[in-house]
Amino acid sequence: MSNGQLQLPKTLMPLILIGIIAIIFISKSAVNIDAGEAGVLWKRFDGGVVVDEPPLGEGFHIVAPWNDVVVYELRQQELFEKMKVLSSNGLDIILETSSWYMPRPEDLGRLHQEKGENYLERVIKPTLRSAARSVVGRYTPEQLYASKRDVIQSEIFDEAKKILDGQYIELNEVLVRDVTLPATIKDAIERKLKQEQESLEYEFRLVTAAKEAEKQIIEAQGKADANRILSASLTDKILQDKGIEATIKLSESPNSKVIVIGSGKSGMPIILGNQ
């Protein structure tokens, strides 16, 4: 010790140097991967991106300090898109979609090697936009407004999935959140739909009235047929018998004095009473 300065023993210097190197080594080698993530290993001196082995899973890992690990999220992610597309007759349609996607864990190395971390911008967005334009271009605004939202949703999903299946990405769903038409077209469609509804209601009333008239005709025809059958069955003999029965009942009434003085043209008795 001299001039108030503390001198370390020469034997400690190598240990301190080794400790510093060890700290640097550990800080460069330690990799912590959070839940829902996986790591792609890149080996500087051994072929670059590792594609023939599973990615590094969740937890703590030690890798060589000269290698790198790129961490990817494996959870399902959502992409919201608002895009302008053209209908079959060339009108602008604003389409809002939500797409659910995730990278395939078993292909994470190839995804990193061929597409990179920015695969959303490079692959997914162009694919979905192309599929949306292709599908919407098959339909008129009237079809899109009235009943085709579920159809185009399914078709966009099918077309996009065919492309992304070869890009190491899993597309789980495409949802059409809104279809916005030009205001003038929307108003015209609503007026047309209202007129069609009123026309259907008028036709329904006409059909109902026609059925009611038909019902009344059938009932009247039935009554007429019944009366005709009844008239045909009432012969003169039957009428005479009925008349005799009625005459007998009248003559037996205690409130009447009945005198038979002759017969009518049909041979029926003529009854005179005190009333």
DSSP characters for 64-116? -TTSEEEEEE-S-EEEEEEEEEE-TTS-EEEEEEEEEEEE-GGGHHHHHHHT-
Domain boundary among 181, 202, 219: 181
Q: Are residues 146 and 98 in the same domain?
A: yes
Is 1 within the bounds of a domain? no
Q: What is the pTM of this model?
A: 0.61
**Has residue 267 got a pLDDT over 60?**
no
Beta pairing class for 77-86 and 37-43: unpaired
Q: Which of 123, 133, 85 is CA-nearest to residue 103?
A: 123
Q: Are residues 208 and 143 in the same domain?
A: no
Q: Are residues 109 and 165 in the same domain?
A: yes
**Has residue 271 got a pLDDT over 60?**
no
**Confidence band, pLDDT 50/70/90 cuts, at residue 1:** very low
Long-range contacts of 175-179 (CB under 8 A, 24+ apart): 175/97, 175/98, 175/99, 175/100, 176/95, 176/96, 176/97, 176/149, 176/150, 176/152, 177/96, 177/97, 177/98, 178/94, 178/95, 178/96, 179/93, 179/94, 179/95, 179/96, 179/144, 179/145, 179/149
Query: Do residues 39 and 61 make contact, with C-beta atoms less than 8 angstroms apart?
Result: yes
Q: How far apart, in whole angstroms, are the C-alpha atoms of residue 181 and residue 183?
A: 6
Q: Are residues 209 and 250 in the same domain?
A: no
Is 2 within the bounds of a domain? no
Q: Which residue has the higher pLDDT, 237 or 107?
A: 107
Is 57 within the bounds of a domain? yes
Is 104 within the bounds of a domain? yes
**Confidence band, pLDDT 50/70/90 cuts, at residue 180:** confident
**Has residue 243 got a pLDDT over 70?**
no
Q: Are residues 92 and 176 in the same domain?
A: yes
Q: Are residues 88 and 135 in the same domain?
A: yes
Q: Which residue has the higher pLDDT, 181 or 242?
A: 181
Q: Are residues 158 and 207 in the same domain?
A: no
pLDDT in tens, 190-220: 667 666 666 766 677 777 777 877 878 888 7
Q: Are residues 215 and 122 in the same domain?
A: no
Please give the residue range of the domain that contains residue 252: 236-272
Q: Are residues 38 and 108 in the same domain?
A: no
pLDDT in tens, 118-167: 999 999 999 999 999 999 999 888 788 766 778 899 999 999 999 998 89
Query: Do residues 176 and 149 make contact, with C-beta atoms less than 8 angstroms apart?
Result: yes
Is 243 within the bounds of a domain? yes
Q: Are residues 132 and 92 in the same domain?
A: yes
Q: Which of 114, 147, 153 is CA-nearest to residue 131?
A: 153
Looking up residue 97, the CATH number of its domain turns out to be: 3.30.479.30
Q: Are residues 170 and 86 in the same domain?
A: yes
Q: Are residues 60 and 94 in the same domain?
A: no
How many structural domains are present in the chain?
Answer: 4
